[in-house]
Chains A and B, each alone.
Chain A
Amino acid sequence: MDKKLVLPGEFISDDVERAGEGTFVDDGKVFSSVFGVASLKNQIKVVPLSGKYIPKSGDLILGIIKEITFSNWIVDIRSPYDGLLHISEYPRRIENTEMSRYLNVGDAIMTLVVDVDVNMKVELTLNDQRLRPVKDGRIVDVTPSKVPRFIGRSGSMIAMLKNETHCNIFIGQNGRIWITGKDRDMDLAVKAIKKIEKETHVSGLTDRITKFLKEIKGENVIEKEPDKEEKLRTEEKTEEEKTEMEKSGGILDELLGDEK
Chain B
Amino acid sequence: MSKPEKLIENGIRLDGRRPDELRPIKIKVGVLNRADGSCYFEFGRNKVIAAVYGPREVHPRHQQKSTSAVVRYRYNMASFSVEERKRPGPDRRSIEVSKVSREALEPVIFQEYFPRSAIDIFVEVLQADAGTRTAGINAASIALADAGIPMKSLVSSCAVGKVDDTLVLDLFKDEDNYGQCDMPIAMTPDGNITLIQMDGHLTRDEFTEGLEMAKKGCLAIHELQKAALIEKYNSQLEGEVNDK
Interface residues of A (CB under 8 A from B): 5, 7-9, 22, 24, 26, 31, 33-36, 48-52, 54, 80-82, 118-120, 145, 195, 198-199, 202
Contact = CB atoms under 8 A, between A and B. Distances in A.
A48 B152 CA distance: 14
Given A34-B150, A80-B57, A8 B66 contact: no
Contacts of B233: 5, 49
Contacts of B200: none
Nearest to A26: B152
15 contacts: A5-B233, A8-B153, A9-B151, A9-B152, A31-B152, A49-B233, A50-B147, A51-B149, A52-B55, A80-B54, A80-B57, A198-B237, A199-B237, A199-B240, A202-B237
Interface stretch (B14-22, B40-48, B111-119): B111-119
Contacts of B150: 8, 22, 24, 33-34, 48
Contact of A195 (B54, B152, B240): B240
B110 interface: yes
The 6 closest A-B pairs by CB, nearest first: A9-B153, A51-B148, A50-B148, A80-B117, A33-B150, A8-B151
A50 to B, nearest CB: 4
User: Which of A22, A34, A48, A145 has the most C-beta atoms of chain B within 10 angstroms of its own C-beta?
Assistant: A34
Contacts of B56: 52, 80
A34 B145 CA distance: 7
B54 A33 contact: no
Contact of B110 (A5, A33, A48, A120): A33
A119 B66 contact: yes
A36 B230 CA distance: 10
B39 to A, nearest CB: 12
Interface in B117-158: 117-118, 145-154
Given A7-B226, A8-B108, A81-B57, 15 more contacts: A8-B150, A8-B151, A8-B153, A9-B153, A24-B110, A33-B110, A33-B150, A33-B151, A35-B146, A35-B148, A52-B56, A54-B114, A80-B118, A81-B116, A199-B240
- Size band of the interface chain B makes with A: 35 or more
A5 B234 CA distance: 10
Given A9-B188, A50-B146, A52-B36, A198 B240 contact: yes
A19 to B, nearest CB: 13
A195 B37 CA distance: 21
A81 B55 CA distance: 9
Contacts of A48: 148, 150
Nearest to B234: A5
Contact of A198 (B148, B149, B236): B236
Contacts of B148: 34-36, 48-52, 145
B154 A7 contact: yes
Would you call the interface of chain A mostly helix, strand, loop, or mixed?
loop
Interface of B: 36-37, 54-57, 66, 108, 110, 113-118, 145-154, 188-190, 226, 229-230, 233, 236-237, 239-240
Contacts of B147: 50-51
A173 B61 CA distance: 27
Nearest to A22: B150
Contacts of A7: 145, 154, 226, 229-230
B31 to A, nearest CB: 14
A35 B145 CA distance: 6
A36 B236 CA distance: 14
B51 to A, nearest CB: 13
B54 A8 contact: no
Contacts of A50: 36-37, 146-148
A34 B116 contact: no
Contacts of A199: 237, 240
A33 B152 CA distance: 6
Nearest to B110: A33
A119 B58 CA distance: 14
B69 to A, nearest CB: 8
A5 B226 CA distance: 11
A227 B154 CA distance: 60
A110 to B, nearest CB: 23
Contacts of A119: 66, 115-116
Contacts of A202: 237
Contacts of A9: 108, 151-154, 188-190
Given A8-B153, A9-B153, A9-B188, A80 B55 contact: yes
B115 A35 contact: no
Contacts of B55: 52, 80
